[in-house]
Amino acid sequence: MRPSIDSLCRSLGYSFSDITLIEQALTHRSAGGLNNERFEFLGDAILGFVIADVLFQHFGHASEGQLSRLRSSLVKRDTLAIIARQHQVGDYLHLGSGELRSGGQSRDSILSDAVEAIIAAVYLDGGYGSSRKVILDLFEERLEKIDLTAQQKDPKTRLQEFLQARKQDLPSYEVVSISGDPHDQNFKIRCQIAETGHETLGEGSSRRRAEQDAAQQMLQGLKDA
């Protein structure tokens, strides 16, 4: 039995005039009927704009690359899933029986999509100002802790530069396996340096994320060696 939607609204700091909007935002496609897929699309765009606007205003001297990396770190699936758990969004989701049996209420992809859908629901109910306030409240702690100087190039780039500086062969990346449903896949990628025989295995929800994970492990291993 799901808890009262009112509890979630209090946690979000927003009261809906049209409660059907938040109900739809919390309905996964597996439950059939009106679901949150279209809301996810809209919420993702609103979230990206609000975060980009805040970063642009607060970091007047940051480069485009730095701003892009900051935004990506804030709106990525992992971060949204963490925010969803902080507000116990999984407890309020309406899922089909299959997703319920497989633990869909705790899956990162479903939780992050729900956060985007909730943002869209707030926008549709109360307008841009309301959605912006909810976003800033959700991300307040993370925005306060942003350290522009800590933003680095991605792991694959840093690994490549590390090896080039030492005149070593560049790594190769190979897909080891792809598992899961088409909408919720898990990739395993092997990163290998033929010259030394070093290799690592990375995982992620996309090929790019798995490659970055493998590169990060490789870079850390070479630095520790």
Please state the residue numbers annotated as binding site: 40, 113, 116
Q: Which residues of 36-49 are buried (b: 16+ CB within 10 A; e: fewer)?
A: beebbebbbebbee
Do the beta carbons of residue 16 and residue 118 sit within 8 Å?
no
Q: SS3 string of 12-61?
A: HCCCCCCHHHHHHHCECHHHCCCCCHHHHHHHHHHHHHHHHHHHHHHCCC
Instruction: Record the tokens describing residue 26, joined without a space.
Output: 């919390």
The phi and psi torsions of 78 (rounded to 5 degrees) equal: -60, -45
44 catalytic residue (yes or no): yes
Termini Cα distance of the chain: 52
Question: Smallest Cα–Cα separation from 75: which of 113, 38, 37?
Answer: 113
Annotated binding site for Mg(2+): 40, 113, 116
Task: Catalytic residue, from 23, 37, 44, 224: name it.
Answer: 44
The residues carrying an active-site annotation are: 44, 116
